[in-house]
Amino acid sequence: MIRTTQRLAPVLGMVLCALLSMTAAMISPARSGAVTASSCVPARPTSCTLRELATLNGIRIGATAEASETTDADHAGTLVREFDSVTPENAMKWYATQADPGVWTFTDADTVVAHAAAHDMEVRGHTLVWAQDSYTPAWVRAISDPAVLRAAVETQITTTMNHFRGSVHRWDVVNEPLASLGTGRSTSVFWSLGDDWIAEAFALAHSIDPTAELWLNEYGSDWVPGKHEALVALVRELIDRGVPIDGVGLQTHRLPGDPLDAARFTAQLTDFTSLGLQVAITELDVPVSPTDPDAFARQAVEYGAITAACLSVRGCAEITIWGVSDGSTWLDALGVFPTPTRPLLFDTAFQPKPAYEAVRAALAAPLVAASPVVDTSPPTSSPEILPITGAETTAAATVAFLLIGLGLLLRRSAGHRMRPSD
Ligand code: XIL
């Protein structure tokens, strides 16, 4: 069946692409005043944004936003140009939405969600329960009666998910259930609810929005010794018990000067997809030493390797970077690493760094390998999105559009992504 679909997919794709391009030409001007088409040719990665390339690969590429950043022209402009998914950096967390019992604040989160919707971006709901005491409101930590605490958790999950129903389709239901730097359980008050509290949280989340993807998100499993194995064991237990879990998010906050073991990291991703789950890199940042003259080159290698690892694993659905520009990284305020940590893809002036180019090249590579395209378009030096109307559509842009649509349909029809190994 899959083979038949694969054989028919190109024909079907061409027909549907033609229909889609005609439909887009008909409806887009009414909505936005102009048809926008991509000038992205993967063989010439500088013609593409990360967002365009990620879409062609069938994955999401995301970054964070705070409400205030949605009105910062540099942050917002870079965000919507380069990324198709946004994670509210803090606005959906318990300490932001219900800092005091019964007092709900969704304003900032609503701002981020509206910004995402206005720019056709997905939202990663982060997070319903963060199992670290240092990030749990004091009033919640102080609850000693498990029945009261269980009710508080249920209220937090229910109220938050109901508020965002229809606009957030993917939740980090539980964040960091394990000890930050260990392999056991975290010391969180939520573990006082007993062994089943994670399963209960997922079951409740599923009952509130059965269409939402439900994820477990964890820190440090890429480098804390033994933590990956502990996480796999926890996830396997949830699956064995029939818990409605869709994916595992690996935060992937890297350490300065700790080169990635790409094979090991790829195997870690595969350990979750082998369990039938999706996996995502949800909070990527790669801090560097302030005094290393080769810092950005080294950092680029890391970013490229992590991107390639995700792309090589069927079921790795997303790469989200924990910030946009080096000017607003959380790591500089953390007090753990020498500053400035400069861990992101854009510098403080929002100029793309070598790491950006490495991610772009890594995203382009499998597309070029899968379907080499003769590039006849004139060279440009920077990524661009060309606004064109139906009348102005050039033959080259039409071909590029058809190829993009064809690529998407091929991927969807065949039930997997275009990869060299495919
Ligand atoms: C961080 C934010 O970036 C900071 O602004 C905030 O002060 C603390 O939380 N793991 C997570 C993220 O799951 O939510 C954290 O975000 C970083 C570590």
Q: How far from the centroid of its chain's Cα atoms is residue 141's Cα?
A: 30
Ligand 1 atom nearest the C-alpha of 66 is 5
Q: Looking up tokens 């953390």, which residue turns up? A: 334
Q: Could you read off the pLDDT of 234-247 as tens digits, one per residue?
A: 999 999 999 999 99
> Which one from 66, 69, 122, 283 is the annotated catalytic residue?
283
Q: Whose CA is nearest to atom 10 of ligand 1?
A: 219
pLDDT in single tens digits along all 422 residues of the chain: 333 333 333 333 333 333 333 333 333 322 222 335 689 999 999 999 999 999 999 999 999 999 999 999 999 999 999 999 999 999 999 999 999 999 999 999 999 999 999 999 999 999 999 999 999 999 999 999 999 999 999 999 999 999 999 999 999 999 999 999 999 999 999 999 999 999 999 999 999 999 999 999 999 999 999 999 999 999 999 999 999 999 999 999 999 999 999 999 999 999 999 999 999 999 999 999 999 999 999 999 999 999 999 999 999 999 999 999 999 999 999 999 999 999 999 999 999 999 999 999 999 999 999 986 655 555 554 444 333 333 333 433 444 444 444 444 444 333 333 332 33
Q: Could you read off the pLDDT of 191-236 as tens digits, one per residue?
A: 999 999 999 999 999 999 999 999 999 999 999 999 999 999 999 9
N-term to C-term CA, the chain:
16
Burial letters for 225-244: b for 16+ Cβ neighbours within 10 Å, e otherwise?
Answer: eebbebbbebbeebeeeebb
Domain housing 87:
37-373
Q: Whose CA is nearest to atom 13 of ligand 1?
A: 175
How many Å apart are CA 417 and CA 185, to the nearest integer? Answer: 35
Asked if residue 30 belongs to a domain, the reply is no
Domains identified in the chain, total number: 1
156 CA to middle of ligand 1, Å?
19
Which residue type is seen at 244? Answer: P
Asked if residue 74 belongs to a domain, the reply is yes
Q: Whose CA is nearest to atom 7 of ligand 1?
A: 330
Contacts of residue 267, defined as CB under 8 A and 6 or more positions apart, other chains included, come to none
Domain harbouring 60, CATH code: 3.20.20.80
How many Å apart are CA 78 and CA 72, to the nearest integer? Answer: 10
Q: Which residues approach ligand 1 with their CB closer than 6 A?
A: 89-90, 175, 219, 251, 283, 330
283 CA to middle of ligand 1, Å?
9
Neighbours of 279 (CB within 10 A): 24
Res 236: pLDDT: 98
Asked if residue 27 belongs to a domain, the reply is no
Q: Whose CA is nearest to atom 9 of ligand 1?
A: 90
Q: How far from the centroid of its chain's Cα atoms is residue 17's Cα?
A: 27
90 CA to middle of ligand 1, Å?
7
Identify which of 61, 119, 109, 57 has the alpha carbon closest to the alpha carbon of residue 88.
109
| pTM (2 d.p.) | 0.83
Backbone angles phi, psi at 11, to 5 degrees: -65, -50
| Six token digits for residue 123 | 């939202």
346 CA to middle of ligand 1, Å?
19
Indicate the top mutation candidate among 89, 281, 326, 341 to test ligand 1's pocket, ranked by most ligand atoms within 8 A of CB.
89
331 CA to middle of ligand 1, Å?
9
Asked if residue 390 belongs to a domain, the reply is no
How many Å apart are CA 97 and CA 102, to the nearest integer? Answer: 10
CB-count exposure of residue 171 (10 Å: 0-12, 13-18, 19+): buried
CB 141 within 8 A of CB 133: yes
Res 371: pLDDT: 83
Res 74: pLDDT: 98
Q: Whose CA is nearest to atom 18 of ligand 1?
A: 219
Q: Is 384 a catalytic residue?
A: no
> Which one from 89, 176, 213, 218 is the annotated catalytic residue?
176
Asked if residue 1 belongs to a domain, the reply is no
How many Å apart are CA 413 and CA 7, to the nearest integer? Answer: 10
Q: Is 176 a catalytic residue?
A: yes
Asked if residue 381 belongs to a domain, the reply is no
Ligand 1 atom nearest the C-alpha of 217 is 13
Asked if residue 193 belongs to a domain, the reply is yes
How many Å apart are CA 191 and CA 197, to the nearest integer? Answer: 7
Res 19: pLDDT: 36
DSSP labels, 131-197: --GGGS-HHHHT---HHHHHHHHHHHHHHHHHHHTTT--EEEEEE--B-TTSSSB---GGGGG-TTH
How many Å apart are CA 74 and CA 165, to the nearest integer? Answer: 29
Ligand 1 atom nearest the C-alpha of 175 is 13
Ligand 1 atom nearest the C-alpha of 135 is 8
Indicate the top mutation candidate among 66, 108, 135 to test ligand 1's pocket, ranked by most ligand atoms within 8 A of CB.
135
Asked if residue 46 belongs to a domain, the reply is yes
Helix, strand, coil shares, percent, the chain, to 5: 50, 15, 35
